[in-house]
Amino acid sequence: MKLDFGSLRRPSPVSKRFGYNRGTPIDRYFIDDFLARHAADIRGRTLEIGDDGYCRRYGGTRITQRDVLHVHADNPLATIVGDLAHGGNIPSDTFDCCVITQTLHVIFDTTAALRNLHRILKPGGVVLATFPGISQVGADEWGKTWSWSFSSRWAARSFREAFGQEPAITTYGNLLAATCFLQGIAAEEADLQDLAKPDPAFEVLIALRAQKAGG
């Protein structure tokens, strides 16, 4: 049987910007769902990468201090300049919650990054992390350091080794979600009920909660 791909029969995606120019990218729709489910963890002193948008949205008045980590000193929102792989200037045993969205895939030494994440959390502190599975590779500056796409199996083993206990993992995606995301079709253009049905064979986004012992 010959398939009719219609407007999707094309060698380049509908959007090369993950769908940002069309609405909410599929992965960001999933990230919002994950962080909303774990909003109670976003409290106390928090650390986020690049800006503090998610902490503001989901932490609200539970947050006592928001810090932003960024590799570039010219980011006016950055309170700490550095990166997770080296991290020597990020204070130990400091943060109640680290929100690390779509970051680990642009860090080559993920083992060092996870070790530093564990170190900088207070005892009992929580990291909420998301990272890509099936994805375009970004055409922006981060595409130049894009090193990995991950799986839930990698996440379970890597965070278990870094934190000494099993993380709680949620995976998002199915064939339709993967197709839409690769094409850059926005969440508003898709049937959200269909996107919400997970299929472990098509991991678009891996989301994870890991907690440091103690506290």
Torsion, Cα 68 109 86 210, to 10 degrees, reads: 50
The confidence score (pLDDT) of residue 98 equals 98
203 contact partners, CB below 8 Å, separation of at least 6: 133, 134, 151, 152, 171, 172, 173
Please choose, from the candidates 8, 9, 28, the residue with its C-alpha nearest in 3D space to the C-alpha of residue 18.
28
Please choose, from the candidates 172, 105, 171, the residue with its C-alpha nearest in 3D space to the C-alpha of residue 136.
105
- 8 A C-beta contact, residue 127 and residue 94: no
> Within 164-208, where are the H helices?
175-183, 192-195
Q: Which CATH architecture has domain 39-172+203-211?
A: 3-Layer(aba) Sandwich (3.40)
The confidence score (pLDDT) of residue 138 equals 85
Which DSSP letter does residue 212 get?
-
Q: In Å, how far from its chain's centre is CA 82?
A: 18
Which DSSP letter does residue 136 get?
P
- 8 A C-beta contact, residue 206 and residue 102: no
Q: Which residue has the tokens 């006592």?
A: 64
The confidence score (pLDDT) of residue 50 equals 96
User: How many C-beta atoms lie closer than 10 Å to residue 70's C-beta?
Assistant: 19
Q: Which residue has the tokens 């098509």?
A: 202
Per-residue model confidence as pLDDT tens for the chain (215 residues): 777 778 888 899 999 999 999 999 999 999 999 999 999 999 999 999 999 999 999 999 999 999 999 998 999 999 999 999 998 899 999 999 999 999 999 999 999 999 999 999 999 999 999 999 999 998 888 889 999 999 999 999 999 999 999 999 999 999 999 999 999 999 999 988 999 899 999 999 999 999 999 97
The confidence score (pLDDT) of residue 122 equals 98
DSSP 3-state of 143 = helix
> Which amino acid is it at 35?
L
Structure-block tokens of residue 3: 């398939």
Nearest-angstrom CA–CA distance, 205 and 203:
6
The confidence score (pLDDT) of residue 100 equals 98
The confidence score (pLDDT) of residue 118 equals 98
